Structure 1
Amino acid sequence: MPVTLLSPLRWLALGWADLRRNPLPGLIHGFMLTAFGGILVWSLQNWFWVLAGAFSGFLIVAPILATGLYQVSRGLSVGRRVDIFEVMELWTNGDGRLVRFGLLLGLAGTGWVLTSASIITLWSPVRIGTPMDFLQHVVLAREIGLFEVWLLLGALLAAPVFASSVVAIPMLVDTSVPVSMAVAQSWRSVAEHPGPMVLWAVVIALVMGIGMLTALAGLVVLIPLLAHASWHAYCDLTSRQPTDHPTPAASSAHA
């Protein structure tokens, strides 16, 4: 189906339909990831920059951890219900490409936190040591500048991560192409559909933001919703036809 500015809303609707048709794998993923995020927040609440680094890495790598849900959506596209055991099998198949890509995403998150910490430490008039310090002295600061620069820098650093992964992650699950080819296809898809992809990035950020505002509880549903929707985004962006089998690989498996 042609990709338009309305496509992100369609992907969300299709993702919601997949979650309703086969909710158990998605809710298990959502609960486990949300519980892990909650443990990070609870245990590191007094060490803001450690928490920021750990939580940023968690958010960036979360799409890798939810890859089993792409298998669920792939099965549903041909009318087959994928159970949790098949999802677990995906995690035990020894595919090092997802591990390597996840490590690269984690490094990107670490780079963002180090950059963020440097800017705020140098600019902020007070020491930022807790989330409340950040909220009071950065987000709600009367002076205009620090928070706006922080947001702009975050967007600039997040853009290449999004462009590299939006198609690449589901493609690594669906095919045996090497990481480099999946990333190249992801960038190509973004370049060919800049408007819809910017909107899709905004939608993802808003949905995750809503999850944060519910004290993470909403992420139990919102994480699998975005995972299923991301599969449909991948299918539209690559013109993938419904099939329960991997598409022909452009090179040998796990290259």
Structure 2
Amino acid sequence: MDTVHLPSHDHPVVRHVSPADTLAWLKAGWRDLKKAPADAGFYGAAFVLMGFFLVFFFEEAPQVVITLMALFLLVGPFLAIGLYDIARQIEIFHGNRVNLAQSLVAWRANIPSFTLYAALLAVLVFGWFRVSLLIFALFYETSAPTLSMLVSEAFSPEHLAFLIAYFGVGLLFALLVFAVSAVSIPMMLDKEIDAISAMVFSVQAVYKNLMTMLCWAAIIVALTAVGFASYFVGLLVVVPLIGLSTWHAYRAMITYER
């Protein structure tokens, strides 16, 4: 299946959207999920397997498990390129045909931009990984905590400083990645635009629709938490739903003028 691109000389324009529009994006994503359940579900299943892999291989290192789970929120938008392409295919072909193989290599539509974005994201991911492990080392100097200990004592007064430091720093990383990736990855898939320009437009879209995007970020975090709380099984539906809905968020916020 050939990809279809809009003319590269179209100029992106950021539109204003309201918090109520986030529900419309979810509904549109759900409709897409019902049109291509197997293709979209493939990506959900991949995330479920990754979750099982993390717990199985790092069971004795909960700090690594928690850090890598937090990384899900950072790299999730990039890993969902295939889901954006599925939503795009449904849009173009009105849901009559979806090619899973095409979605798996959708990044080839704009290799230079995706390569640069991946490199920048890798720097942020490495930074978060090192900082998060450093926070664990500072608060648990004698011995590494078990996963059950972290869960049972998470909200005890003596662990308040750890929670503030860990989630405070994590929030800064998450907000930065969210701002530069909210619409940039779908934009790079849809248009022949460079990574820096796409990230700039993404930041502009978040800034212009700050309350709406904060609501959208909260919805993503809440759905992801449900997926984690269900021992990753819920990610089978959550990941496709978020990915497909994000495409519609991009379509709502970014239009193009000649």
TM-score by length of 2: 0.84
The separation in 1 between residues aligned to 2:193 and 2:172, in whole angstroms, is 28
Matched, 1:180 2:196: yes
Match of residue 45, structure 2, among 22, 26, 31: 31
Query: Once the two structures are superposed, what CA deviation does each residue of 1:106-163 show, in whole Å capped at 9, x if it has no partner?
Result: 33223223222323332347633432232244x1323333213322222122111100
Match of 1:6 in 2: 20
106, 113, 116: which one pairs with 1:97? Answer: 113
- Unpaired runs of 5+ residues, structure 2, are 1-14
Structure 2 letter corresponding to 1:207: L
1:123 alignment partner, one of 139, 148, 163: 139
The answer to whether 1:142 aligns with 2:150 is no
Whether 1:49 aligns to 2:63 is yes
Q: 1:61 aligns with which of 59, 75, 78?
A: 75
CA positional deviation for 1:239: 2.6
- Equivalenced residue count is 241
1:40 aligns with 2:54: yes
Q: Which has the higher contact order (CA 8 A, sep 6+)?
A: 2
1:84 maps to amino acid: L
> What value does the CA root-mean-square deviation take over the aligned residues?
2.3
Contact 1:47/1:130 (CA < 8 Å) preserved in 2? yes
Partner residue, 1:244? none
Specify whether residues 191 and 67 from structure 1 end up closer, same or farther in structure 2 by C-alpha distance, changes over 3 A only.
Answer: same
Over 3 Å counting, the alpha-carbon distance change for 1:169 and 1:193 in structure 2 is same
SS of 1:77's partner is helix
Give the secondary-structure state (helix, strand or coil) at the position aligned to 1:121. helix
TM-score of the two chains, using structure 1 as the length reference: 0.85
Give the Cα–Cα distance (whole angstroms) in 2 for the partners of residues 236 and 82 of structure 1.
22
Range 227-236 or range 91-100, more displaced: 91-100
- Code of the aligned partner of 1:29: Y
Q: Secondary structure of 1:239's match?
A: strand
Following superposition, the deviation at residue 172 of structure 1 comes to: 1.2
Structure 1 residue ranges without an equivalent (≥5): 241-246, 249-255
